[in-house]
Structure 1
């Protein structure tokens, strides 16, 4: 029923946990295939993916390009785009199974949480969910479950070095309305490493500035230079 597409670049630290959360739903038949699109890793990412039985597709680096390539290779009527450092909670398959049975032209993201607890990570993840509900601008870390029909109707992911997720969601909601994107209660637990390295609120401020510049028309290339 679902093809899972995971763009990856040197993701060996978190990729095993990401893939492990897909094993049960694969055995149960919900997940038909897992496609790891490797952007030229120089670690063991490809070998880890192969060891889990995932299909490995090689690509030039760039998450937008990797997502688009994975979608092109996928065979199912439903696509789940998932970052390599995100782990879906145990109950995700139940929510996903209900969602895909309720209609074809649908898309959903999961509820964001970090892989650590405390005041700062809870505030940041809670704020991200407020943004998702009010503005329909989720993080890519929340995953994206979408029917192939709707994905194709929106036009797929663009070959962009940054903001490919926000750009796709903007096209989705502009063409099909804000109700086209739903929020599933199951948690997408993502790595807090970047936030802990930079400081949670410094990172939020930086991400918000980049998002604002994107919404005002800045090029993805310029935003990537700022991000890095």
Structure 2
């Protein structure tokens, strides 16, 4: 991601915007207008922001219960973002070049670099949260189970805060139970 930011160049004023998105996520139509409105409008200029979270439907169609669990995960993710200012890369991080440079860019990590970036940005300012959702693939949840993936994600975050090496956490993430 740092290579992409370097390749994007920068305006002299550091006010350009960089957009980072996980490979299994898709920006909403009209995302450029959304970014312009939310990040460059006169109301409040923020250093960074992110879109809302939405998950794709199951490949074979959701059961009623599966659909409700997906909506609950989306709701919980979006509430976490509003309450704690903690969006992740699957929501599309939009970062002002100046802020990106000031926090030293992304850490060179095999995993969780978006989480670490958000922690650095939060110390600087709160994010602007956009209403439009980025749609993220539900493949991992479909293959492994909605509850299992959600629980594993929470265990990984707890492990990170307890000092478990990121390389080990990356192996946990690949764990197929």
Following the alignment from structure 1 to structure 2, what is the Cα–Cα distance between the partners of residues 84 and 152? 23
Q: Which residue of 2 aligns with 1:119?
A: 68
Following the alignment from structure 1 to structure 2, what is the Cα–Cα distance between the partners of residues 186 and 93? 11
Count of residues in Structure 1 that have an aligned counterpart in Structure 2 = 159
Asked if 1:108 corresponds to 2:49, the answer is yes
Following the alignment from structure 1 to structure 2, what is the Cα–Cα distance between the partners of residues 104 and 69? 26
Pick the structure with more strand per residue.
1
State the TM-score, normalized to the length of structure 2: 0.83
CA contact (8 A) 1:109 1:144 kept: yes
CA contact (8 A) 1:107 1:146 kept: yes
Structure 2 residue ranges without an equivalent (≥5):
11-15
Q: Which residue of 1 aligns with 2:171?
A: 225
Choose between structure 1 and 2 for higher RCO, CA contacts under 8 A separated by at least 6 residues: 2
Which whole-Å deviations, capped at 9, do the CAs of 1:171-204 have from their partners, x for residues lacking one? 1112x13x2x121011100100000001101100
State the TM-score, normalized to the length of structure 1: 0.66
Cα RMSD (Å) of the superposition? 1.6
Q: Which residue of 2 aligns with 1:205?
A: 151
Q: What SS class does the counterpart of residue 109 from structure 2 fall into?
A: coil
Structure 1 residue ranges without an equivalent (≥5):
1-66
Q: Which residue of 2 aligns with 1:16?
A: none
Q: Which residue of 1 aligns with 2:88?
A: 139
Structure 1 runs (4+) greater than 2 angstroms displaced:
91-94, 102-105
